[in-house]
Structure 1
Amino acid sequence: MRTTKFHILVFLFLLSTILFGQVKNIGVPDIRNYKRTDYKGGTQNWSIDQDKNGNLYFANNNGLYQFDGSSWTKYALPNYTSARCVKVDESGKIYVGGYKELGYFKADSKGKLKYTSLSRLIKSKNNKELDFVWKIHIIKGEVIFQSFARAYIFKNNKLKILQAPKRFQFSFQINNTLYFQDTEAGLLEFKNGRLYPLKGTTALNNTEVWAMFKMPNDKLLIATLEKGLFIYSNEKITPWNTEADIFIKKNSSLGGVVIKDKFIVLNSVLNGIIISDLNGKITQHINRKKGLQNNTVLASFVDNKNNLWLGLDNGIAFINESSPFTYFGFSYDISTVYASVIHDGNLYVATNQGVFYHSWNGTFKEDAFALVEGTTAQAWNIQVINNELICANNIGALVIKGGKTIKVLDKNGYFGFKTIPNHPNFVIGSNYNGFAIFEKTSNGLEFKNQIAGFDKSSIFIELDNDYLWLKKDEFLYQMVLFDDLKKFKSIKIIQNLSATEKGFGSIQKINNNIYFQTNNHFYKYSKEQDLFYEDIKMSSVFKNIPKINTLTEDANGNLWYVFNESLGELIKNSDGSYTNIVAPFSNLTGNLVTNYLSVNTINPQNIFIGLTDGLAHYDSQLLNNIVTKPKVFIRSFSFPGDTIIFGNEKKIAEKYLIPYTANHVKFTFSSPTYENLENVEFSYKLEGFDDRWSNWSTISIKEYTYLREGNYKMKLKVRNSYGIQSEEAFVPFTVSPPWYRHFLAYLFYILLAVVSIFFIRNRIKIKIRKNKYYETVEQRRLYLEKESKIRQEQYELEKEIEKLKNDKLQIKILAKDKELVNNSLQVVKKNKILNGIIYKLKDINVESFDESTKFQFTKLNRSITKEVSADKSWKDLEKHIKNVHFDFLKRLKEKYPTISPRELDLSTYLLMNMSTKEIAEIMNISSGGVELARYRLRKKLELNKKENLIGFLMSI
């Protein structure tokens, strides 16, 4: 009853806290630190602001830095001046103040931020009167830059000067009211261009005011550097004696910010920040020990999602205040958590180092968890049984009370405990050597006996009225206990739940029924039929869920499951159905103790989840407050020669035209979703190129190369860590065709084709006319050539006829020559015969003849002699031969000048194809003489042995 009342009080307290605001007072929110190596800037960050697109701006020692969730961009001030303050107005102008410099950045036509200096409007010589600009305020269309000596009011492109009564310290804007602190006049209110002192505030002249906050009942809260916190009301300054005041006096204030007018963030010099309620009670304290990289906080800012950004003395920090998750980790001195439970006003956690506890009633902002004495070892479980706190520890079964181990029930190592149905006074414990029985007595639990006959151990056990079920490795054990609980009556090993489903996944109790699960199929056991049968209804619940490996039911009947080192929850509805929730737990992926899932649901606002590096606190009621649709931007659109930026208040045009030579395009993406950035994913699609959306990826850049000409539209969407998708962002653009495929080029091609056809047509006509003319000329030429050819042929024919006649004549001449030679030879023979007769007649003695005979003989002799001497045939032959073969003899003599007349005659005889005998008779030499003459002739003609003499003579 006492526990029930306590839970109700706790619930009412937490419910009021939730209704009051969203800052959790349990655990530490997720903190992300950005080092100077991340943003590549100076160490100190003095001021923070955010534009309408969600981009964040930081006034840094090295200039102005912009963060869009994906990338950091630096914007330098003139002369690389240090920036001290930044403020963004409704139009998107980013006003910046620094050392001897004030001005603003504004996006140009291509979305790039360009700086305009306003220092030039200050009339003072060389701007010597301008020192550091520390604050910027925007009120009723006026931009007010505050330095120590004066304030500069910028409106309608004009700059007016507001002189400090003595010396300004800082200035503060509360709604539409602006306050200044003067070192002599105290706090001043700025109205209608003038300063009006606040009565009773000169008491603060000896300290620096770093922040002012609006409080209920028109009160003002003032935070000083070293004197603490004060309330200004009814023209009086009074100390604000609260927890927050004590903290500031101890650690010094550097300003702060308000969260939803319900919580106050106070920066400190020495110890990080605190978040207090409007009563000064500290709700959170976040410092270096809790996860900040630096304890000196120079600036704080609440973004559009009510998350907190801190400008540190060295770096930047993001605190996810809107998340339903907070954490107990190394700063609370706990490590891997296997189980948790609330008992007697304390929160206990079983870890790998032992059991730790923390007061559940008290604040969690400072105190670490304390170790329960006597539990220093691996603690597998912590349970409340019969109103006793029992720990399953490596060193035994331990009873804990008041932060101490008061009893060791058994020194054997234990995994956990279960009550035994039908035996309400007994508890079974799973230990390293099997199972043990504990009995409930008036003195609490007492060890009774170790169950004999089985020595296998496991944390996964369930009991019903008939069996003890154990999952060990890939097997399921079905065991029956004797009624005396000292020994197992039967032990059966089961390898498969059905013929179709091989293996075994998990065992769990849901709605007081034991389910056996494998591959997301859930089975029950029928004792009567001795078989496992599938529960179709329960299997259908997990039909569209990835394969699970661990499942547990919490106190509210919700089902928590682990898949691929990720966590999911099936929330039980009033009608018995389940609603699957996965996205909120994505930031826990990889940090779960997957084989020992620990989910401790106290109520919907207090759910504890064991992690490998501590304990997570989950408030499911805050989930609806943060699940909003994220925004996405195509941050930049680049192509060779130009870059267009859309994240800086740049509106996307209807279409962008890029030349074909610049058809390599690059897109960068951003989403001002700063929670769980590692789980923010993009998906894109280039219409006109991609057929489908890309897979979800954390990569925030995409390039396309060698795009053909045409119309394209780059589409982009983002999915945050809660699985919520944004609306689509898009950029339309057109890639112009190359000059040779441009519309004008095609028009030129058509005109060129028409002109070419016209030109070719005329050329063809001219060609036809010319061809006809040339054809006529050619025909004339061919006619003349043919006529000439006929005449030539006729001439050739006549020559041939003449040649034939000549040849015929030559043949006749040769025949005549031959005949003449034969006649001449006959004459020679005749003369020879006649000479022989004359020679023989000389031997006749004519003296013996009578006169008449002698007369006749003398007459005969004279007649023969006359015949011989009167024959001139030989000389005629020689003359004829020389006349007929004159040309041959001339060519032969010209070619061979040394040839003799005798050899010329021989050559002529040979040309006439006369035989050796005939030549010998004509030349009056022997046949041997003819051969010798032939040899000499060959030698003079320089013929070798193989060459034919007569053929050579004929070739001449």
Structure 2
Amino acid sequence: MLGFRLRFFLQFIFLVFSATLFSQLRPPIKNFTSVDYNGENQNWDISQASSNHIYVANSKGLLEFNGAVWNLYPSPNESIMRSVKFVNGRIYTGCYMEFGYWKRDDFGVLNYTSLSKNLDIPLVEDEEFWNILELGDLIVFQSKKRIYIYNITNNTFKTIDSDNTITNIAKIGETIYFQKIGEGVFRIEYGADTLVSADPILRANEIINIFQKGNDLLILTQGEGFFDLKDGILTKSNMSSNEFLATLTFYDGIKSKNGYFVLGTISNGVVYVNENGDFLNQISLNNGLLNNTVLSVFEDVQSNIWLGLDNGISYLNTKSPYRVFNDDKGVLGSVYVAEIKNEILYLGTNQGLFYKRLDSFENFKFVKGTKGQVWSLKNINGMLFCAHHSGTFLINNGLATKVANIPGTWDIALLDDNSNFLLQGNYDGLYVLEKSDEGIWALRNKIEGFKNSSRYFETIETTILVNHEYNGVFKLKVDSLFQRVENFSEDRSLKGANSGMVKYKGEILYSYKKGIYVYKEVEEKFKKDTLFSKLYAEEDYESGKLIFDEKKDVLWAFTKSGINFLEYEPLTNTPKINNIALTKDIRNGILGYENILSLGNNKYLMGTTSGFLTTNLNEVVPRKFEIFLDYVSVVKQGGSRKIMYNSEEGDFLADEKNIEIAYYTPEFNKFFDTEYQFKLDGMYNSWSDWTKDHTISFENLPYGKYTFNVRSKIGKELSLNTATYSFKIAKPWYISNTMVVFYILGILLFSFLMHNIYQGYYKKQRQKLIEKNRKELEFAQIQSEKEIIRIKNQKLEAEFKGKSKELAASTMNIIKKNELLTKIKNELSPIKDREAIKPVIQVINENLNQDDDWELFQEAFNNADSKFLKKIKKVHPKLSPNDLKLCAYLRLNLSSKEIAQLLNISPRSVEIKRYRLRKKLNLQHEDNLVNYILTI
């Protein structure tokens, strides 16, 4: 009964203590779901390679994480993978009825080699391998009934069998310890098991893990907590949390490099205990984990704690200078402002004002009466004022006293350094608070003549500058009692979303996207300041909210890429701008209401939309890291893919011109995303913009040589190295060297042929030109000859005409002579004395019949038409001389009468001759004799 009550009491203490722990800060946590890593929910074991790759034994297979992307390698027999261990380039894994190792090939792909298939003995029925350890050249695989010791050098096995269940194995120094349920704790010596302790506690209770404690052993048991084993004697550990630990159900646990015990539980998340056994923290589903059941715990080389969960994977940045308070239950809400007074931390949120003592484990408490939006907290002369949606409060030791019931107080400030008057900005203008002689604050008046919302305001004597992000900056001249506005002006040239205004060392600063401006009293206007404007670049602008920490003499500005602050060097008093690389996404603050509070010792608190985070700038130490190439993927035009890995130089074909390159930086940091920048010498010779993408694709690259360069950035730190990969893309076949030779030969041959062709062409052209010139000369000569012929013809024609005239004259003379002789003869015919006239008539007859006339005619005719008689003789060789005479006369187109006179015959006889001539010429009836003769 006493034991039951004690256990109940301890469980109650645990629950209470756990509730207080939930209010503590925790390290940043990064969670991965099964969707992120594309595996099953449960993750049984974790290991890390020398390259910083993380390997996880998942229910679906082996998970590999390089800091940028997860890869899944299914288990060799599709069973649950229970264990994983990286040793000297090999990843040893164990699953159901199978164990072996994975090794990367030349293409960057992990290939599996089975070791269990080389055993000389069969595996135990339904055997699963839950743990793997490394001891020099030995790799130890543990199942529930047997331990296999594999010698890497000679590929031999030794086995240790057990009739009872082997719960776990642990490596302490150079010795392997393990437990057999019901028998006790053993160690392996010379390949055999040796009993170390058979204490009833060790026989009856499952051992979670065994740790080294000086020269002794510290054993964590299930249900009994920690025990010390010294010289074979087991004693209860004197750790202060031991009784509490006995109430928990553990699955795994490790001792971290800093000496803390990190214990994974079933249903209670992970518990931190220091070397003395004191509780440090507990992290569970309520404050950051994906799941409360922790199946495996692993510490990587950067001291991050990796948790394999029953549903997902988480890692904790235990060395991070940042700590997080997440209001997962929504009690606090979004933190708009924080302030410290009397060692009490106050948080002003959208749900009210909360407080707790600094560095305590207690929960935040609500300040009664402050439900609703808190806009600002101001510690003025030792008094804490709260500017609230419902009015103005004075806060003291967790109690709120309302001093002004005017709704919507934005901010409060001393009125012109007068400690008895306060100026507050409200939704509807400006108000003055006054402290009475009894020390009680109360509303005195509203400043008449101004009704605009006054979130940001600053005073210079009786001048009030009010910033309104939509209307610009108002300049109000008020009376000496701050009761009414006497003069009003508005500068609309300065306005912008999320603009701000603050008084810094007596100067009024106005900040918006275009930069930071200083108010010049003499000129009564704002002018841009080059020093202050270096706090942010226009493209990095996020919010104009500026915060001046008078105690630290630091001016804070909030940008997209981080938090910048201006401070002065202590020795030289020169201004210097520093940076905290917390991006707006990581800060998770409220835009325009950013806040930062000094906690002392260079520690700061910043409000978020669901709580707050703290940072210790003393712990912000730049970490050295490198970038590596993951793979080079070449996509052919046909769609096939070839993976290149760790190649000195890629040598790609002409159709392998689509290149994808993946790279990674194996750093695991919740608050700092890794960014990458690349360039491709030979194509893009300047660095690209920073991006979170860990792959880049180049499409349709032309042939040539390239060198890919990539570097990474975490926060503001650059990687130590620049990863490079050189490759070349071959020329297309049609412009390859061989083809170029062919092209050259072809060009030469073509040139030779073209030369010959052109030579022949020009030779032909020359010949044609010569021929043309010759023809032109001939033509000219012919033309000349024709002209000569024409002239000759003209001459001949003239001669012909002359001859024809002579012929005609001759013919006419003959005809006239014959006519005369005939007439004379006819005149003599009536004379009766015939004898007397006979001689005369005889002379006349002789003259009429003389051939001399014909010969004369013939000569004249030949002179006029020399070829006719030859042609007609040739055509009609049977013609008689008389026929030729008749033809000659007909050629001259003489009439029958004229012909009769020439022939000294009657016209009738001429007709007869003509008729006979037609017969000889074979003319038809319709043919004209004269026309025929003229055509010859």
SS at structure 2 position matched to 1:585? coil
Pairing partner for 2:141 from 137, 142, 145? 145
Following superposition, the deviation at residue 86 of structure 1 comes to 1.9
**Does residue 636 of structure 1 match 2:634?**
no
Question: Deviation string for 1:774-817 (max 9, x for gaps)?
Answer: 9xxxxxxx9xxx9xxxxxx9xxx9xxx9xx99x99999999999
Maintained 8 Å contact 1:223/1:255: no
Aligned partner letter, 2:234: K
SS at structure 2 position matched to 1:29? coil
Question: Deviation string for 1:845-902 (max 9, x for gaps)?
Answer: x4xxxxxx455567777887788789898899999999965774599899xxxxxxx9
**Does residue 727 of structure 1 match 2:721?**
yes
Pairing partner for 2:412 from 417, 420, 428? 417
Pairing partner for 2:45 from 44, 47, 50? 47
Distance 1:430 1:304 in 2: 53
SS at structure 2 position matched to 1:391? strand
**Does residue 307 of structure 1 match 2:301?**
no
Change beyond 3 A, Cα 1:823–1:101: same
Question: With structure 2 as the length reference, what TM-score do the two structures score?
Answer: 0.74
Maintained 8 Å contact 1:541/1:578: no
Question: Tell me, which stretches of 5 or more residues in structure 1 are unaligned?
Answer: 1-22, 769-773, 775-781, 787-792, 847-852, 895-901
Question: Deviation string for 1:523-568 (max 9, x for gaps)?
Answer: 5887xx89799999xx747656547823223364142422445422
Paired residue for 1:682? 676
Deviates more, 1:589-598 or 1:102-111: 589-598
Question: Deviation string for 1:412-466 (max 9, x for gaps)?
Answer: 4423434567754555544445223242676x744252355365553434568x5
Paired residue for 1:694? 688
Paired residue for 1:850? none
Distance 2:854 2:728 in 1: 117
Distance 2:531 2:132 in 1: 60
Following superposition, the deviation at residue 376 of structure 1 comes to 1.7
Paired residue for 1:199? 197
Distance 2:925 2:713 in 1: 114
Pairing partner for 1:398 from 387, 393, 401? 393
Change beyond 3 A, Cα 1:890–1:820: same
Maintained 8 Å contact 2:426/2:454: yes
Distance 1:64 1:940 in 2: 125
Pairing partner for 2:98 from 91, 97, 101? 101
**Does residue 570 of structure 1 match 2:559?**
no
| Mapping 1:124-523, distance limit 5 Å | 124=121, 129=125, 131-154=127-150, 155-156=152-153, 158-166=155-163, 167-200=165-198, 203=201, 208-215=206-213, 218-224=216-222, 227=223, 229-234=225-230, 235-236=233-234, 238=236, 246=244, 249-250=247-248, 252-331=249-328, 333=330, 334-343=332-341, 346-358=344-356, 360-363=358-361, 367=363, 369-383=364-378, 390-400=385-395, 405=400, 410=405, 412-419=407-414, 423-424=418-419, 427-432=422-427, 433-439=429-435, 445-447=440-442, 449-453=444-448, 455-456=450-451, 458-461=454-457, 466=461, 469-473=464-468, 474-475=472-473, 477=475, 487-488=482-483, 507-510=501-504, 513-517=506-510
Paired residue for 2:13? none
Distance 2:672 2:887 in 1: 121
Change beyond 3 A, Cα 1:502–1:719: closer
SS at structure 1 position matched to 2:582? helix
Distance 1:42 1:360 in 2: 42
**Does residue 32 of structure 1 match 2:26?**
no
The alignment yields a C-alpha RMSD, in angstroms, of 5.6
Distance 1:93 1:680 in 2: 27
Maintained 8 Å contact 1:682/1:700: yes
Identity of aligned residues (%): 24
Paired residue for 1:622? 619
Distance 1:871 1:530 in 2: 150
Following superposition, the deviation at residue 350 of structure 1 comes to 0.9
Distance 1:905 1:180 in 2: 161
Following superposition, the deviation at residue 690 of structure 1 comes to 4.5
Maintained 8 Å contact 1:628/1:724: no
SS at structure 1 position matched to 2:62? strand
Aligned partner letter, 1:603: G
Maintained 8 Å contact 2:535/2:565: no
Question: Tell me, which stretches of 5 or more residues in structure 2 are unaligned?
Answer: 1-20, 764-769, 775-780, 916-920
Distance 2:433 2:801 in 1: 157
SS at structure 2 position matched to 1:37? helix
Distance 1:836 1:574 in 2: 169
Aligned partner letter, 2:171: Q
Change beyond 3 A, Cα 1:953–1:694: farther
Distance 1:739 1:904 in 2: 94
SS at structure 2 position matched to 1:695? coil
Following superposition, the deviation at residue 160 of structure 1 comes to 0.8
Distance 2:927 2:324 in 1: 126
Following superposition, the deviation at residue 362 of structure 1 comes to 3.5
Aligned partner letter, 2:55: Y
Paired residue for 1:9? none
Aligned partner letter, 1:719: K
Distance 2:515 2:182 in 1: 75
Maintained 8 Å contact 1:664/1:705: yes
Distance 2:817 2:707 in 1: 131
Maintained 8 Å contact 1:417/1:430: yes
Question: Deviation string for 1:667-710 (max 9, x for gaps)?
Answer: 32211123257742222334455443333332333345666776
Change beyond 3 A, Cα 1:942–1:615: farther
Paired residue for 2:552? 557
Distance 1:86 1:42 in 2: 16
Distance 1:331 1:531 in 2: 49
Following superposition, the deviation at residue 59 of structure 1 comes to 2.2
Maintained 8 Å contact 2:393/2:403: yes
Distance 2:926 2:335 in 1: 127
Paired residue for 2:62? 64
Following superposition, the deviation at residue 99 of structure 1 comes to 2.8
| Mapping 1:600-619, distance limit 5 Å | 600-604=597-601, 606-619=603-616
Maintained 8 Å contact 2:563/2:581: no
Distance 1:471 1:96 in 2: 68
Maintained 8 Å contact 2:185/2:196: yes
Following superposition, the deviation at residue 141 of structure 1 comes to 1.9
Aligned partner letter, 2:592: N
Aligned partner letter, 1:299: S
Paired residue for 1:715? 709
Distance 2:204 2:900 in 1: 166
Maintained 8 Å contact 1:346/1:361: no
Aligned partner letter, 1:153: I
Following superposition, the deviation at residue 287 of structure 1 comes to 2.7
Following superposition, the deviation at residue 664 of structure 1 comes to 5.1
Change beyond 3 A, Cα 1:463–1:332: farther
Change beyond 3 A, Cα 1:481–1:276: farther
Provide the aligned length of Structure 1 versus Structure 2: 846
